[in-house]
Structure 1
Amino acid sequence: MSPINLPTFLKLPLLLCEAVCMRINATPPNAPLPREGIIIPDWREKFLRGLGLPCRIFRLLSWSAMFIEFIVIVAMYNPEGAISRLILATLASSDKCVSNIRITPLLILGNILTISGTSLRVRCYRTLGRFFTFELRIQSRHQLIKEGPYSVVRHPSYTALILTVLGAFTSHASGSWIVNCGLLKTPIGVSLAMIWVGVALAVIASLLLRIPREDDLLRKSFGIEWNLWARKVPYCLVPGIY
């Protein structure tokens, strides 16, 4: 895909924004629940809860790639400095690799997906308030929230997280340090990329598997109120599709 004719240094705020968005998505808005309050009905929830360490690895790999690209871009603008020469000699395989780090349409699309997903996720945090937890649980005096994004789809926070993950992939698909500087041509690089992709796909799959169980839990807890809401809001993630 053709690059956009913009100065490469404009990637720096985009990389920072992506890193902040990933942090927001991964940080619970409320304190984690005690183990005795968590509902783990079957293997699906065990699978999701087992992704804690892999997700931390995913974030570490993502942040590392962003940090490396950030410092390489900074070094590009002062290539004669001692630290810049060390950075470029260590992290940039060739001058062509450095010149190909640029803003592309896929980068812009990836950032749009990431920012949109994070904005929606924050909206869900605020709409649910104290009821938003990463764990599956019905709390004391729990209420069925039907306002805001929950009046459009039943699981908008999952939509938001999936958008953010897809955005992370897309923004690094072209014009990035990962693609242009030879990392994917090494066994270690390929292995890390496979781990990154595998964890991301596992997260998306776990969310899709969790939806029926979460709906069933809410249906049992709220009965007719949930049925009326589900009739009014029939889609789980994307209006008109699913």
Structure 2
Amino acid sequence: MSLLRAPLTLLATYGMGYALTQPNPPISNEERAAYRSPEVKLGRLFLLWPMSMKVINWANGLCEVGAIVAHNFPRPPLTDRILSMLIGPGHSAASLQVNRSLLFATFLTTVGSYIRHQCYRTLGRFFTYELSIRKKHQLVTAGPYSVVRHPAYTGSILSLAGIHVCIFGPGSLLRASGVLDTEIGKVIIGAAALHGVVMGYFFISRTIEEDKVLKNQFGEQWDRWAQNVPYRLIPYVF
């Protein structure tokens, strides 16, 4: 059963990676200079966050898959060394199992990355990580933007929630290795919780800021859209 966890972990990791991948080049310095939000002031340093997240998630995912493969296809002494390094003494890779937690996590990241993909396709060259109004910008109200006004953030929230469940849930590498039971593990859990709170605040504040910019740019057209699509992230909730 643990062998099946490997492709599911890779699928969840890929989904999160796709959701963090910018579909277009970064905006120009001229476009960036038009806004004064904190993220714009950070410039290209702001783009280090998705890159860092991808590195961390892929490192965890590949290590977990490596432990699963080494456990299911033993080739001493190589696989023994791999398991000793990834799992540690006194722990077993047999606990790396498929469970409801992993299935739920994979579902969330898959749905989240699909929503992001639809947003990439619908917005085309207008999709940017940094706040900007591009040359000949148009207000896009089709596809996922006919359901909520900021569906890309909805996709990100789903993907982030899914990858956190995958990494920290039962049957994961961090659980099986006992890392989360150590002092370092407590720091990791605290950092992950803080990251979740910060990102939640960022997504909510970003939707408010984007609405202000779009309303200022498109006026009555934005008002009609906001009337037809009253929710920012989750239908009937927010």
Distance 2:208 2:60 in 1: 35
Deviating more after overlay: 224-233 vs 185-194: 185-194
Percent identity (aligned): 33
Aligned mate of 2:182, from 174, 177, 186: 186
Compared CA separation, residues 99 and 233, structure 1 to 2 (3 A): same
| 1:126-177 Cα deviation digits (max 9, x unpaired) | 0011111111111111111110000000000000000000001122311111
Give yes or no for contact 1:110–1:166 (8 Å, CA) kept in 2.
yes
In structure 1, what residue type is equivalent to 2:205?
L
Give yes or no for contact 1:101–1:175 (8 Å, CA) kept in 2.
yes
Give yes or no for contact 2:115–2:151 (8 Å, CA) kept in 1.
yes
CA RMSD of aligned residues (A): 2.1
Which residue of structure 2 lines up, in the alignment, with residue 24 of structure 1? 18
SS of the equivalent of 1:143 reads: coil
Which residue of structure 1 lines up, in the alignment, with residue 107 of structure 2? 112
Which residue of structure 2 lines up, in the alignment, with residue 3 of structure 1? none
In structure 2, what residue type is equivalent to 1:204?
G
Compared CA separation, residues 123 and 13, structure 1 to 2 (3 A): same
In structure 1, what residue type is equivalent to 2:203?
L
Aligned mate of 1:101, from 79, 96, 100: 96
In structure 1, what residue type is equivalent to 2:31?
G
Distance 1:147 1:234 in 2: 14
Compared CA separation, residues 178 and 197, structure 1 to 2 (3 A): same
Compared CA separation, residues 203 and 47, structure 1 to 2 (3 A): farther
Deviating more after overlay: 32-41 vs 148-157: 32-41
In structure 2, what residue type is equivalent to 1:143?
Q
Aligned mate of 1:145, from 135, 140, 165: 140
Distance 1:48 1:189 in 2: 32
| 1:10-38 Cα deviation digits (max 9, x unpaired) | 11111221222222112111111112212
Q: Structure 1, unaligned stretches of length 5 or more?
A: 1-6
User: Structure 1 residue 188: deviation in Å?
Assistant: 3.1
User: Structure 1 residue 82: deviation in Å?
Assistant: 1.9
Give yes or no for contact 2:21–2:50 (8 Å, CA) kept in 1.
no
Aligned mate of 2:160, from 149, 158, 165: 165
**TM-score using structure 1 length:** 0.89
Deviating more after overlay: 124-133 vs 174-183: 174-183
Aligned mate of 2:66, from 45, 65, 71: 71
Distance 1:33 1:178 in 2: 37
Paired residues, what number? 236
User: Structure 1 residue 46: deviation in Å?
Assistant: 5.0
In structure 1, what residue type is equivalent to 2:134?
Q
Distance 1:76 1:216 in 2: 54
